Amino acid sequence: MASPPAPGEGPVRPVSVSLHEGTISALKARTGKRGMSAYVEALIQRQLERDRLRELIEDAEAEHGPSDQSAVDAKRAILRGDAAGSADAA
């Protein structure tokens, strides 16, 4: 049996979702009428990635204990391009 397609893969099909009127207006203003589906697709894919990352972190912490917050802060500074954080982590 074939596995289901990964997020962003497979055929496109219409679905119905309910959104607040204000959300729809803001979405249309940002994307135009024709860009809404692509925008929502990207948002959902990004949230799925974040959910998977959170699950990986929770699994790692369950196995190895909580993360060292100072190490996390140092790595976050490197990712953001903070020179002082880079020097501290080196």
Banded pLDDT at 89 (limits 50, 70, 90) = very low
Reported for 4-8, long-range contacts at CB under 8 A and 24+ positions apart, including other chains, are: 7/44, 7/45, 7/48, 8/41, 8/45
What are the pLDDT digits (tens) for 2-23?
Answer: 899 999 999 999 999 999 999 9
What is the CA angle 27-29-33, rounded to 5?
75
Tokens representing residue 75 in the block? 């790595």
What are the pLDDT digits (tens) for 34-83?
Answer: 899 999 999 999 999 999 999 999 999 999 999 899 999 999 999 999 86
Between the alpha carbon of residue 56 and those of residues 30, 61, 62, 64, 75, the distances in Å are 33, 9, 10, 12, 17
Reported for 47-56, long-range contacts at CB under 8 A and 24+ positions apart, including other chains, are: 48/7
